[in-house]
Amino acid sequence: MTPALQITDLRVSLSGNTILSGINAEINAGEFVGIFGPNGAGKTTLVRCIIGTLAPTRGSIKVLGLLPSQAARRVGYMPQGHGTFDSTALSARSMVEAACEGDGWGIPWTSKKSRQEVDRVLEVTDAARYAQRPFSVLSGGERQRVMLAQALLGDPRILVLDEPLASLDPKNQGLLIECVARVKERTNTTVLFVAHDMNPLLNVMDRVMYLAGGGAALGKLDEVVTSECLTKLYGSDIEVVRTQNRVFVVSSEGGVTETECAHHDHD
């Protein structure tokens, strides 16, 4: 079976700075993979390469066996934030309709088929109940469901979510994760879920990709999130602490790394 994502000897340099180097990874169809790492580790850079908006300096990325540009319509992408639309007059449904063309914002489709597709994604994300309300008045959790509905248009085979938990309280984080996990189970969609804190995702991930020091490690949680593996990635002493079914990554200075310091009070 063709891998959902195949990364070979990937190197990405921006403005003369090497962000990622020597990255090799293979992700199978239907996997739920969490992507973690401190700020500046290259998580969003990697996402840009996967969705085809940034070309690697060296190496290759294949999405469903194709170049990212060729696979674009098979990838659903949920970007960071939605500040551009904070004051929009569009309803939540209109936000989704406007993206239904798939080639950017424009006059929404009004065909029966497109209306049915909008109905489907609003239903699967549990956003149909507030679809007629203005997007600008929705809560953070409600907005994220609308953005997830956009990403699900066209029934993508891969779903790329770039920090969708940012700014959400623990309850809404949990609800969004449940929604994504439900979509994956129904459709066998591959999920690449970028986040700062891995703890809310512990029960739904199949594997973990951890980025640090320009490199990456991919594997089961117990293989990757270890003191030995992360010390090698970071290039400095790292201790992984587990307590009450939670994971913390602690630097040699004794501070919790950026990866786990956000929202570490979910329970």
Structure-block tokens of residue 28: 């199978």
Does the pTM surpass 0.85? The reply is: yes
pLDDT digit string, tens, across residues 141-195: 999 999 999 999 999 999 999 999 998 999 999 999 999 999 999 889 999 999 9
Q: How, if at all, do strands 32-36 and 190-194 pair? A: parallel
Label residue 98 by pLDDT band (50, 70, 90): confident
Least confident stretch, 72-76, 98-102, 132-136, 217-221: 98-102
Residue 251: predicted pLDDT: 83
Residue 106, pLDDT > 60, answer no
CA atoms of 47 and 253, how far apart (whole Å): 30
The better pLDDT of the pair 257, 146 is held by: 146
Which percentage of the chain shows pLDDT scores above 90? 77
Residue with token string 């060729």: 70
Residue 264, pLDDT > 50, answer no
Residue 83, pLDDT > 80, answer no
| Residue 25 CA to its chain's centroid (Å) | 16
**One-letter amino acid of 212:** A
Could you tell me the CA-to-CA distances from 194 to 104, 127, 130, 159, 178 in Å, in that order?
23, 22, 26, 11, 15
**One-letter amino acid of 207:** R
Residue 101: predicted pLDDT: 60
Least confident stretch, 4-13, 69-78, 116-125, 248-257: 248-257
Residue 82: predicted pLDDT: 65
Per-domain residue ranges for the chain? Answer: 5-261
CA atoms of 260 and 248, how far apart (whole Å): 6
Residue 102, pLDDT > 70, answer no
pLDDT digit string, tens, across residues 218-246: 999 999 999 999 999 999 999 999 988 89
Multiple choice CATH, 5-261, 1.10.3720.10, 3.40.50.300, 1.10.1530.10, 3.40.50.10790: 3.40.50.300
**One-letter amino acid of 88:** T
Residue 6: predicted pLDDT: 98
Q: Please, what is the end-to-end C-alpha distance for the chain in angstroms?
A: 39
DSSP-assigned beta bridge partners for residue 13: 18
